[in-house]
Structure 1
Amino acid sequence: MDNRINQIRRTIRALRVSMLEAEAIVREQINRDEDCSFVAHEILKMRSVMSLLVRERTALGDDEPILVNCLFVPRRRPARSPVAARPLNYGVVSAQGLAARI
């Protein structure tokens, strides 16, 4: 039974990597206004296989998370936190000090 769980985990890990690559291809195709229906259909097939594997894995009693190294680079820059402006230091100037500057 442990061998079957390990085999399912390896398959799920491979499917996740394939799905990430396919999603990147779909994004590129959408950005170029190309037809991405074939790749999207393949992603849906991978998702259905993944759901069957997850059900089988759960039935075998394995519920530990499966970690996948993701090399995905976010498309948006992280939002910068607003920087509070430092108040300007206007000193009180007397009339005599002002006259001395002129």
Structure 2
Amino acid sequence: MKKILLVCNAGMSTSILVEKMKKVAQQRELDVKIWALSNSEAATLDEEVDCVLIGPQLKFALNQVKENFPGKPVAVIDMRVYGTINGEKALNQALELM
């Protein structure tokens, strides 16, 4: 199982994006766990992840998030993908990172 974490400011949009990503993953029969945490919650996460996507509003925290997840791929979600809540493109971004 691949684990994809989205890091945000605990906003509602990210929760909706997670659900859309899960729906696409289910349609593709992918074995993934996708969830979202606030930046502060993610910093203390005690679970391994395979990939971290950051909401565009936290772009400024990219280096900090990378430090919290050494050796793991970390990227900012494209603003258009996030703004349109495009679960397919967000999932594709995560899969390409891994």
TM-score by length of 1: 0.26
Answer 1 or 2: which has greater helix percent: 1
Greater gyration radius: 1
- Normalising by structure 2, we get a TM-score of 0.27
Bigger strand fraction: 2
